């Protein structure tokens, strides 16, 4: 039996295998298995559990650093779907990490923590790719003459041409920008003010038979909010650039076509724990029940609270997820399945238990 040096903490296990350290974090599916193997002195089993072939080598690119399969930005640990995707793609042998690394770097310039977490949720529908500069490509439906469908007299337009009805002209090549304070940052306000970018399905439907379907490019730092209506298929931003008119290529609703000078990267933004999920993002017309999205929203909310030094209660998560009719017991099971622990107290209601 092979003797293996190791250290166990509440959140991770570090194993020295063949003289090299490997860390299994608590959110790794093998964490409990590795812990049990160590306690049972089954050290020979650890080689399979640490998955050496998929272990990500440490690297630094700009302000992004990956160390022991944890992603840091300027020394601060990051969480979220895009971080999981970076690790998963590095494990798969990705040679060009620039698109994802640049996206993460740009995202850190976003002044709103809520905007960052909501953007993760939006991208989880694998509708929007990002290019090598870290910019995101989305879709927008406008009128047949390229004017926006609606206008708002109270919107301060910093870049872009407007008409007497306060609509904005979306010609190819135009950069459209409004004051960030003129974009509603409340995700629970559905039909509200601001520049909107959508998934292919949403924008295509909004354009209608007589409208134009456009590809637009926006910086993750300009994302403001993801309204909770329409199955999280639209996003409010403060600035975007019109890249292409693809009206004539929309031959099949669920097969977007885009050709440009720059390659598109990272179009698979689905949850990395379920790469076989083929949800089209239109939950009214398919068998998808939205469970992945609920888990993603709960995880992002909890991790965001932890980063702020707070330990949310089940009741707080339930309030955050209003509209889904989830009980505290259901949220408990979901959070437990996601790898979180609880500060349980038999003398207090379950809804008051804190997630740690």
Q: What is the pLDDT of residues 180-199, one digit of tens each?
A: 989 888 777 767 788 988 88
Give SS3 for 217. Answer: strand
Residue 147, pLDDT > 90, answer yes
**Does residue 267 lie in a domain region?**
no
220 and 110 in contact (C-beta within 8 Å)? yes
**Does residue 268 lie in a domain region?**
no
Whether residues 18 and 75 fall in one domain: yes
Strand segments, DSSP code E, in the chain are 6-8, 12-17, 20-25, 59-61, 64-67, 70-73, 76-77, 136-142, 157-159, 175-178, 195-198, 212-218, 223-225, 234-237, 239-245, 342-343, 354-355
Whether residues 211 and 337 fall in one domain: no
Structural domain range at position 76: 6-107
Task: Pick the last residue of a domain from 107, 128, 156.
Answer: 107
**Does residue 259 lie in a domain region?**
no
**Averaged pLDDT for residues 157-166:** 93
Task: Pick the last residue of a domain from 75, 107, 139.
Answer: 107
Residue 237 to residue 146: CA distance in whole angstroms = 19
**Does residue 281 lie in a domain region?**
no
Whether residues 235 and 169 fall in one domain: yes
Beta strand 157-159 with 195-198 is unpaired
Whether residues 235 and 122 fall in one domain: yes
Whether residues 40 and 128 fall in one domain: no
Beta strand 20-25 with 12-17 is antiparallel
Whether residues 298 and 350 fall in one domain: yes
**Averaged pLDDT for residues 79-97:** 72
Residue 154, pLDDT > 60, answer yes
Confidence of residue 58 (pLDDT cuts 50, 70, 90): confident
Confidence of residue 256 (pLDDT cuts 50, 70, 90): very low
Q: How far is CA 279 from the centre of its chain?
A: 15
**Average pLDDT along the chain:** 77
Give SS3 for 301. Answer: helix
296-343 tens-digit pLDDT: 778 777 877 777 778 899 988 887 776 567 888 889 988 888 888 888
Residue 186 to residue 285: CA distance in whole angstroms = 27
Residue 30, pLDDT > 70, answer yes
Closest CA to 349 of 320, 325, 318, 306: 318
**Does residue 275 lie in a domain region?**
no
Q: Which residues pair with 195 in a beta bridge?
A: 237
Residue 225 to residue 182: CA distance in whole angstroms = 12
How much is the pLDDT for 306? 79
Residue 239 to residue 23: CA distance in whole angstroms = 41
**Averaged pLDDT for residues 239-267:** 58
How much is the pLDDT for 176? 94
Whether residues 118 and 243 fall in one domain: yes
């Amino acid at each position: 039996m092979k003797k293996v040096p190791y250290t166990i903490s509440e959140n991770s296990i570090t194993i020295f295998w063949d003289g090299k350290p490997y860390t299994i974090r608590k959110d790794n599916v093998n964490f409990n298995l590795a812990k049990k193997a160590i306690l049972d002195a089954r050290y020979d089993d650890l080689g399979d559990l640490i998955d050496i072939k998929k272990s990500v080598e440490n690297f630094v690119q700009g302000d992004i650093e990956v160390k022991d399969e944890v992603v840091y930005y300027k020394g601060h640990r990051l969480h979220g779907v895009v971080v999981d995707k970076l690790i998963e793609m590095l494990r798969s042998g990705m040679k060009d990490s620039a698109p994802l690394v640049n996206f993460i770097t740009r995202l850190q310039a976003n002044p709103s923590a809520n905007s960052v977490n909501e953007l993760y949720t939006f991208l989880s529908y694998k509708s929007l790719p990002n290019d090598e500069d870290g910019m995101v490509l989305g879709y927008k439906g406008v009128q047949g003459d390229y004017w926006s469908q609606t206008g708002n007299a109270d919107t301060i337009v910093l870049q872009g041409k407007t008409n007497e009805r306060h609509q904005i002209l979306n010609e190819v090549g135009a950069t459209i920008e409004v004051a960030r304070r003129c974009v509603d940052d409340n995700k629970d306000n559905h039909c509200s003010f601001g520049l909107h970018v959508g998934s292919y399905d949403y924008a295509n439907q909004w354009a209608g038979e007589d409208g134009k379907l456009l590809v637009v490019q926006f910086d993750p730092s300009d994302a403001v909010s993801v309204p909770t209506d329409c199955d999280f298929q639209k996003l409010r931003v403060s600035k975007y650039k019109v890249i292409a008119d693809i009206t004539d290529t929309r031959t099949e609703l669920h097969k977007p076509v885009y050709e440009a000078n720059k390659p598109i990267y990272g179009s698979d933004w689905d949850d990395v724990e379920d790469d076989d999920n083929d949800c089209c993002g239109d939950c009214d017309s398919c068998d998808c029940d939205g469970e992945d999205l609920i888990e993603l929203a709960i995880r992002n909310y909890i991790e965001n609270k932890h980063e702020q030094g707070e330990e949310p209660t089940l009741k707080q998560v339930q309030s955050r997820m209003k509209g889904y009719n989830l009980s505290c017991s259901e949220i408990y099971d979901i959070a437990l399945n996601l790898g979180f622990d609880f500060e349980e107290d038999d003398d207090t209601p379950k809804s008051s238990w804190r997630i740690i």
